[in-house]
Amino acid sequence: MSGLGGLNKAPNGVVLGMVQLQLPNVVTPADLSAQTKQICDMVAKARRNLPTMDLVVFPEYSLHGLSMDTNPEIMCRLDGPEVEAFKIACQENDIWGCFSIMEYNPKGNPYNSGLIIDNQGEIKLYYRKLHPWVPVEPWEPGNIGIPVCEGPNGSKLALIICHDGMFPEMARECAYKGAEIMIRTAGYTAPIRHSWQITNQANAFCNLIYTASVCMCGSDGTFDSMGEGMIINYDGTPLVTGGNRPDEIITAEVRPDLVREARQHWSVENNIYQFGHRGYVAVKGGAQDCPYTYMKDLVDGNYRLPWEEEVVYTDGTSCGFPVPDRLYAGEEISEAVKA
């Protein structure tokens, strides 16, 4: 079904390229500039690699590496030179791109952000990671939800980042908002391999959605990322899986029109529909209440586990971060960011 990795593209197909980018070590602004150029060069490689490719996807941490350094001198801005270079690369190579930045936040810790840029150099989707990988990551929790955008060839795209994918609610939200392809970018290392695979497959099957996921790859001299690019069919079956060769681009064609067909015609496995229409054989339209205690408590601000007091790790001190002294209050989001 993947058409030799997208070489034989169907009229309704979208060809994805997942870049198992070599893990960099970025410390200085000069390092950041050099890595920006490396990513732009890989955009050009992707276009040369496969003329049918519609969207090239770079992993989380592809620009900054895994140091968790929050130094303002190497943080990015949406109007900064790094994002501008990505826009130009997409436009010059006539290809959509998905990119990762650690974004300067004047009101707190930086955001771990993702961008989808179209082949005209326009930002079509902007996302802030909702679930930083605690207690390891210092990033501010995202506050703009999970956006969905129109993608190439009439597709609908969503983007989540790394640990986000361990929460089934994330993929459900993507599909609920209409996404047909859920991109998951990551910097994971080898101990995560099994959970990476099963969550990518389960997220696809439970929501009738393609999942397209990729990690950083190789070593920076300290950390070893695993690559493991994979594109999963909407029935949970892997279409293509990568290994751990740095800078390899894993490709496949996906068919959003078949997602739409399955969501319309499938019954037994139309899980996302059934979730809101429980027992529709017995009662007209199914039960449409919310029987889930954790959802109600979360909405009411009362989310609390039965073993809440026994949880050991509740801040980042085990990984060298100070205990935070501010409560989460969100922030006013500009209309430009919302768009």
pLDDT confidence of residue 332: 57
Catalytic residue among 40, 60, 82, 217: 60
Task: Indicate the pairing of strand 248-254 with strand 14-20.
Answer: antiparallel
Mean pLDDT, rounded, for 223-229: 94
Active-site residue 156, yes or no?
A: no
* H or E element that contains 207: helix 193-207
The pLDDT score that the predictor gives to residue 289 is: 97
180 vs 165: CA distance, rounded Å: 16
**Residue 60 is a catalytic residue:** yes
For the chain, give the mean pLDDT.
95
Please give the pLDDT value at position 333. 60
Digit-coded pLDDT (tens) for 121-135: 999 999 999 999 999
The reply to whether omega before 132 is within 30° of 0 (cis) is no
Catalytic residue among 87, 129, 180, 253: 129
Which strand (E) or helix (H) includes residue 231? Answer: strand 230-232
Domains of the chain: 3-290+332-338 (3.60.110.10)
pLDDT of residue 189: 87
Q: Name the active-site residue from 162, 174, 215, 217.
A: 162
Q: Which residues of 238-252 are buried (b: 16+ CB within 10 A; e: fewer)?
A: bbbbbebeeebbbbb
- Checking if the pLDDT of 14 tops 70, the result is yes
> How confident is the model over 138-182, as pLDDT tens digits?
999 999 999 999 999 999 999 999 999 999 999 999 999 999 999
3-class DSSP state for residue 332?
A: coil
| pTM for the model | 0.96
Catalytic residue check, 319:
no
According to the model, what pLDDT value does residue 329 have? 80
Q: How large is the average pLDDT for residues 28-42?
A: 98
